[in-house]
């Protein structure tokens, strides 16, 4: 496949707007591309686009998500830059997976009877359900796994923080603003500040951002009908390794007063091992492209949080793109970086499939 055809694949799937739960058209498009590239394709019970190469019992599974956050961006190419929702997070990494695996499987050296490479375009990663990854977790038992997320073509991601969401709601009869009773908005702000202070105290002395607890105020909304007032607040917490969530929730219970607080969408932090054949393959492949690889950890979450503990195999996240552009109105991908990532992944996969069976 030529470089322009590789870019056409990416352009096609980016052009189909696919926020979480609305991925069907993009899934069908990706499945069509995989079929044309020689994959055995299916749309599984979760709605994922799935392609298989080879028939062996030894599995290498690559999972990238095909859904995006809401917000359409006009898809356009300006020289070697492609703009559009999902170019970085994470259709660029997913397209690189599809191309690299197809190239690695070409030719008589691919051990099709002993190895199977599976590429999954997973649904609902951005919705916090991780529906596609949770389904895949029980379907495969890979020797190696890759998660498609932007790392930059010369960097490899080893870990992600965990996540916990809190929904706060408080309603009470109206009171005069000059009276002694605090309004519901003041109570909500007091709860938020208690959480921030607790996080700041816990974070003292932590060496890296990966080790800190990071609260975020996602939204706050108040309303009144003249008789009762109500406030709703939605908070996010990025959880570091070693945090006792039960202790945190016990503190939350002391701060909430009469408010209702619901905790949900929890994902535990995950950090992969740094030294194994998978990471060695990436070091060698990136070096072959003229760079020295680096390993990073991320403050967000990904399907690695779901699949890493379940599969228990060597796993990393990798993909082209600048993750600071995730979810932004300026999301775009350097196409030279995209093509470099395809070459890196092809080298990685060729090395992994050539491993002697132990």
CA distances from 301 to 126, 129, 282 (A): 10, 12, 22
What is the spatial distance between Cα 343 and Cα 351, in angstroms, rounded to a whole number? 12
Cβ 73 vs Cβ 331: under 8 Å: yes
Q: Catalytic amino acids?
A: 67, 125
For the chain, the residue count is 358
CA distances from 82 to 14, 70, 87, 158, 333 (A): 9, 18, 7, 27, 5
Bridge partners for 184 per DSSP: none
Which residues have C-beta within 8 Å of that of residue 2, sequence separation ≥ 6? Answer: none
CA atoms within 13 A on the CB side of 33: 28
Query: Kindly report the CA angle at 150 between 145 and 154, in degrees rounded to 5?
Result: 85
Using left for φ > 0, alpha for ψ between -120 and 50, and beta otherwise, residue 149 falls in: beta
Strand-strand pairing, 115-122 and 315-318 = unpaired
Tell me which residue has tokens 């208690």: 194
Strand-strand pairing, 260-267 and 294-298 = unpaired
Tokens of residue 178, six digits: 């000059």
Tell me which residue has tokens 């091992």: 273
Closest CA to 68 of 23, 27, 31: 23
Cβ 50 vs Cβ 294: under 8 Å: no
Tokens of residue 305, six digits: 């949080």
Cα dihedral 300/322/11/338 (nearest 10): -120
Quick check: helix, strand or coil at residue 139? Answer: coil
């Amino acid at each position: 496949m030529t470089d322009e055809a590789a870019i056409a694949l990416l352009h096609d799937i980016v052009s189909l707007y696919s926020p979480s739960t609305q991925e069907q058209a993009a899934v069908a498009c990706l499945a069509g591309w995989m079929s044309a590239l020689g994959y055995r394709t299916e749309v599984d019970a979760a709605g994922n686009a799935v392609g298989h190469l080879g028939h062996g019992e030894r599995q290498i599974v690559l999972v990238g998500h095909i859904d995006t956050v809401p917000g359409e961006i006009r898809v356009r190419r300006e020289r070697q830059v492609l703009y559009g929702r999902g170019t970085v997070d994470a259709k660029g990494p997913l397209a690189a997976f599809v191309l690299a695996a197809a190239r690695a499987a070409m030719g008589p050296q691919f051990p099709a009877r002993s190895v199977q490479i599976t590429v999954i375009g997973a649904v609902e990663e951005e919705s916090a359900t991780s529906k596609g990854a949770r389904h895949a977790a029980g379907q495969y038992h890979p020797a190696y796994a890759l998660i498609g997320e932007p790392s930059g073509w010369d960097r490899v991601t080893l870990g992600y923080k965990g996540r916990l969401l809190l929904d706060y709601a408080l309603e009470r009869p109206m009171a005069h603003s000059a009276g002694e009773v605090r309004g519901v908005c003041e109570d909500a702000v007091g709860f938020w500040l208690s959480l921030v202070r607790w996080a700041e105290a816990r974070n003292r002395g932590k060496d890296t951002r990966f080790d800190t607890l990071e609260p975020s105020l996602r939204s706050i909304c108040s309303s009144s009908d003249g008789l009762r007032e109500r406030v709703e607040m939605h908070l996010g917490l990025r959880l570091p390794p070693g945090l006792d969530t039960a202790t945190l929730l016990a503190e939350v219970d002391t701060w909430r007063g009469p408010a209702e607080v619901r905790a949900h969408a929890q994902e535990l932090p995950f950090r992969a091992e740094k030294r194994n054949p998978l990471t060695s393959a990436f070091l060698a492949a990136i070096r072959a492209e003229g760079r020295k690889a680096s390993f990073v950890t991320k403050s967000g979450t990904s399907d690695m949080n779901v699949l890493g503990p379940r599969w228990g195999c060597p796993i990393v996240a990798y993909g082209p793109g600048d993750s600071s552009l995730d979810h932004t109105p300026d999301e775009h991908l350097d196409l030279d970086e995209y093509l470099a990532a395809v070459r890196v992944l092809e080298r990685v996969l060729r090395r992994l499939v050539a491993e002697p069976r132990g």
